[in-house]
A and B are shown apart, each in its own frame.
Chain A
Amino acid sequence: MTNGSTPDLACKEVVELVTEYLEQTLSHNERTRFEQHLAICGGCKEYLREIRSTIDLSRKLSQGALAPNVRDELLTLFRKWKAG
């Protein structure tokens, strides 16, 4: 993996590119190098998987319904505004 024409990315560099990779802001060339590295590096592949799991998991923190008293307060506020 060190014999290619462009030098291989080090894992240390790859982990810093993960967000840009996921945000699709890497240049075409960077993206190719990133993906080539992943194809041969189980550690970085695992790291990316773990970042994805972290994102999926944080989605579950989204809070549910509003407390009824807060909802009522805001409705009162709306009615006052409407009555002008």
Chain B
Amino acid sequence: MTFLIFNVVGGDPALQLAGKYATPEQVESIRHELGLDQSLFHQYLDFVKQTATLDWGRSWQTQSKISDMILSGIGPSLSLTVPAFLISFFISIMVALFSVSARGALLVWDRAISIFCLALMSISFLVYIISFQYLFAFHFRWFPLNGWDDSLMGRWGYLVLPWMISVVVSLGPNILIFRTAFLDEVIQDYVRTAQAKGVSRMILFGRHILKNAMVPVITIVVLQIPFLITGNLLLEAFFGIPGLGGLLIQAIQNADFPVVKAFTVVGSILYLFFNLVADLLYLVFDPRVELR
């Protein structure tokens, strides 16, 4: 699919590389050098070979090694996405547990949290970025507006605001999904039995319900990991973070097939790998699951 989309539907990289004063001979010559004049089947075989060896060569546009481009972008991308993901995960679990435990005497809290989450979800990501950047970086001047520091210690100052945005954006859907998973557990017989036996609410929610609700939670969480690695295009663009998201979008804009193919294949491999990890983790949290 990747191969067909970019070879049949996309732009013509030879025309792009030839520039605005191109002659038909130059276009043909570039097409020949890039191997674009070969049959689709032959090009597909090259694509398979690159996928098998994970050797993507050089970008047609930047002429840099694609492996170097990915390596230079992966650090900033992970610095941006992983902490935000962990913070969001931790807060979401806490709030979802509180929300579920509040059903009953404190029902109003549960409802308020649900409404708040829906409100958070109804606002566009771009609006969060623009308003947070204006308010916290420009108006209050608490954070730098945009920029990057290569050193591990220097970069954090530039990341706090993007983390905040990322966390706020992900809280709504995460809390609601986790809450649903916990609610499914709360109505189970073992919960009623534990309550009858006088197990404290802290132990009931923290140990029993949380553990048993982990299967759907793991599915959601682990499948987000590949997207953490491939970066966040909008946040990278607005905050000047040199991550993988920006590299990918540039490659798409410039019909830079080798880069797009590399990202797509790496993304697919990561997705498959973390799918497998999620399946294996079920074993840890649910004894009913076994490998066959």
A interacts with B? no
A residues with a Cβ closer than 8 A to B are none
